[in-house]
Structure 1
Amino acid sequence: MMAHHILRLAAIVAAAALLLQVATGYPWPFCGNSTFKANGTYQAHLNFAAATLPKNASASPDLFATAVVGTVPEQLWAMGLCRGDINATDCFNCLSLAFPDLQNDCSYINNAVIYYDTCMLHYSINQLLPPEDDYSSSTYYINSNENVTSDAGQFNRLVAVLMNATADYAAHNSSRRFATGEADFDQEFPKVYSLAQCTPGMRPAQCRRCLADLMSQTLEGLTNNIGGSMLWVNCTCRYDITPFFNGPAMVRLASPIPSAPAPAPALAPAVPPAAAGEGGRKYSVAGVVLAVVLSTLAALNLVACVCFWRRRRQRAPAKQPYPMYNEAEDMEMVDSMMIDVSTLRAATGDFDESNKLGQGGFGAVYKGVLPGGGEVAVKRLSQSSMQGVEELKNELALVAKLKHRNLVRLVGICLEQQERLLVYEFVPNRSLDLILFDTEKREQLDWGQRYRIINGVARGLQYLHEDSQLRVVHRDLKASNILLDANMNPKISDFGLARIFGRDQTQAVTARIVGTYGYMAPEYVMRGNYSVKSDAFSFGVMVLEIVTGRSCNDCNGTTSQDLLSTWVQVWEHWDAGTATATVDPCMGDGSFPVGEVLRCIHIALLCVQADPAARPIMSSVVMMLGGDTMTLEAPSKPAIFAGNNNTAGNATLSTVSLQG
């Protein structure tokens, strides 16, 4: 029996390597891999569920509802669950928002889930909930990015015991499968608060097992953290040092747990319901001590299986070039996206010039219509490309994992007959530069549309830099790589120069400098250094282009002084308090919100500063754009001009390999 438990613990530890950690903040959408056709049957089913499920869930005493719409093979199954302490109105509002948000974040994906602070929504095709013990691809934890500064071991033990006590109450003492908890800690953090919830249809034993397995896989990843959420479709847990639920706690640990050898918090055992007094609302000191002793025994088992597991891994080290990269799995995903070259030749009229959408440094892009009627954009990589097929497949396997409303979605690949074709979703309004820098078309862009484009690009970059399972530096952000959908929403495209960073990596250096001059940060041009801050520089240049209507490449000079003199003028106007004089006259005289426009100029000037450390990260940019509550620092003069002369600028130009 002991051997069986050790093997089970080992399996749990191994499975934990598959978890996805994300930073704090709601909402959090997670997208599957399979897709459905736009305006088809599945979309109609989604629309029906969106119109009925929020009302049904908010009217339910459990704030929970499911919906099954249509028949196989395009049957939709949806589930909405609200936090057990909110009211019906808040539940309705949360789920009503969840449907459009999830469809935006996971466009045309038929299996997706989104978590908010007060509700969650899941829908899928032809299936009900995932099996109770299938956590391999859909379990997540969110941390608060702040750690305990004193007595961390005691804090971790308290969190483990409190979370298990709360889970017990949710499973065994609540018909709604919901519970909240509270415990005393110390002077630094007087209280710790907790919450546990399962879908109401679960039996008590099912709910408790779901919560136990979820915590065993995720709580260890939150060690020393002052707060965190553990998310799965069937059950969720949360703790924090500040109150986040309504009403009094259902579980109360009145006394701090004694200082004892620290058990592994991820596997703290359940506090038996029999140990609770007053209907399960309070736990005796004896019960807590028992929990700690049992936790220590579980920890010894865990240590043994971890050592065994690590020894096995050391004997056969795996080559893992990127975080969360599984070569076999990713190659299988790429293979599933393969499209015959004959299909794409027929779709594009054999790459007829009349279907050509544009030309870039890596090849031409053609509009195509697939046999089912779906419109796509087919990027035909140049035959002179230095990239090998296997390298391309590895890169595509990574890019295919990136799913966000402000990123162009890759839908197919073709590597036949010496062709290298990438098939993307078709974005009807083409690229931003074709509108922004056209003297007639730019009048279509009022300030509201320009502001939405700025916000969307910032959110897309935040996802690439901070929120995705990968950490991606784009390296070629520019107006021609921002595509606009039918509603003028922006989508970042062209990841040909993108690089994947490790989670702890902040910058890299290259001897082969490629990109588009005018958008490249000075540290990249001069020394080959690139990072998320070099993307921030490119973003700042693009924002200035959007506000002024002027391209950074519309000068004919050969020096850096000539090339970016426009942005120096903007900075000088901002410094003099006359920045509105630089606004694109196509937006009308005074017909735009002056404060909002000035704030965008201010943010852009912060992004194009010479010192990378002075530039904001994209999550800060998103917060700055979100309102005027943040006080912005004064920006220094734009990069390249401070302390540089024409000779230096010319010397730099000679080392740059430009891409169109």
Structure 2
Amino acid sequence: MGKSWVMNTSLLFFILFLQTLKHVHASYKCYGDFFTGNYGINRDNLLSTLPSNVVNNGGFYNASLGRNNRIHVVALCIRGYEAQACKTCLEHVIDDTKSNCPHQKETFSWVTEEANDVLCNLHYTNHSTFGKLELLPFTINPNSKVLESYKNMTLFSQEWTAMVNRTLEAASTADTSSVLKYYSATRTEFTEIPDVYAMMQCTPDLSPSDCNRCLRECVNEFQRQYWGRLGGGVGRPSCYFRWDLFEFYKAFDNVTKVLAPPRQCSPPALDCGRDEKHFEGRHIAIIVVPAIINLIIFVGLICSWKRKTSDTGIKESYNPYDGQSMLRFDFVMLRTATHDFSPETKLGEGGFGSVYKGVLPNGQEIAVKRLTKGSGQGDMEFRNEVLLLTRLQHRNLVKLLGFCNEGDEEILVYEFVPNSSLDHFIFDEHKRCLLTWDVRYRIIEGVARGLLYLHEDSQLRIIHRDLKASNILLDAEMKPKVADFGMARLFNMDQTRGQTSRVVGTYGYMAPEYATYGQFSAKSDVYSFGIMLLEMISGRRNKNLKEEEGEEEEEQEGLLDFVWKKWSEGKYAEMIDPLAAPSTNISVDQVMKLIHIGLLCVQEDVFKRPTISSVLIWLESHAATTMPVPTPVTFLTAPSSPSSSLHG
């Protein structure tokens, strides 16, 4: 009785676990402006009959309604749907959309919040998208578990890639016998996993090449962000891709399992024959084979002993520049983790090299910075970053896990930060709406804490010298981490300023005294922090005016000139990013305080700028705070040079 109860309970929890995994993939995206007036009425009227219209038109339907507030809708169901299942799914996705995106003009969703629904899609906008490839925005939903139990990641990667390519090719080949002409579902048996399921679908208004591109972008995005996770889904307005280790969306009832491509065969065994004429050969075999077996066992024991210390490809080593203990990574392991540094895993590229996403054999995600070979500046950056980050530990600084310096390869291995850098959000009209005032305030406060640690609280005193939005990384919870210490300078504890003839950094973020005279201090970082803060408040990039001569006149105005003009005229609302989502926790007064702090940080006079500790006190104060009155600020233009970004 007891065993039966335990087994039944375990089975119940397993079923609930699978259902939970299915819920993980519920996703929608709200974007665009907020609507008023008749747009909402037109939307509701169009959606009220949408499920029936989709079914009556073979599973795909597009329509529009209204004049001045016109709304355009595209909707579909999975191929092979049952009429009632399709209607139910669309009813659920309409309810989800109205609930989660009540006032925005644009939204799309490929799945609902109901675990038993089939796949369906709803996409509405204030402009026509019919026949157009829509790649942005996108949703991505990885499973939380990783593939750490499958040791042969290389084999898994080969089989997974083959499965995805087969599914993608089938999905992007138009089947004109169905209205839903772009669709494929596959079930594959891997060497180490009995069942792997994949499904892809495009909206049928696309061309085959656009469908192929859309699905490939989904696959690449999953690999770029969550390679090593045990399944996941990526949705874009024009297509959807998902893979998992269990069935989903009732898509695999009539799908035949296929085997993954076989591994390469071993060389054929030597045929010794059984004829008496080969009697002598058998005697040789009797003597030689045991000897070979003994040799193999001996070599195996030696290899096994060696593997105990080096099988992981990671060794504890000493920093070659200051003797600090840290991890040294094997180059072969990093090459495997990044799929041989393939373009699909590349996260970005800078002045000194490229950054790739990698997955270690235990499933841990890493960021791998491979410095450009033969670059003297890259070599200096490598040494500087290893020297500093091995001695710095703070939640608002990116963590250096280790390094690799084999031959002419110089590689830095960091913790993987999934949400890329801050500039990808501030300067992207689709993503900027995700930065609510709560999130923006938290990012600003976190960066200030990271700088305070560098300037005052660590065992060292460090000036970053290249603080900017692209060097602020955002983790899964949108918490900031200051990155890229290749240009940082180490001060003695009693040293307050330095000077250099080699100015490095990015114009637009550089303090005037540093860009003009090479003088730098903690106040130089405060200036850069102020620029970043004002960019977050306004949603505007601090542009180099000499590089923007072709733009409209109102766009030529520098960020500081713009902010100071609006501040002095009392037009505070015009400074604030119109795409920033409102917040119940951050008041207008607090936003005004942020602008005030930003203006103080970018004062031309070094002595009028606050310290970062003062900035943090102001940020954390909830009561009315007395701050100095800012004086006029002006935009610093870059000297005539081929680039606005210098490294030295």
Q: TM class, shorter-chain normalised?
A: 0.3 to 0.5
User: Taking structure 2 as the reference length, what is the TM-score of the superposition?
Assistant: 0.47
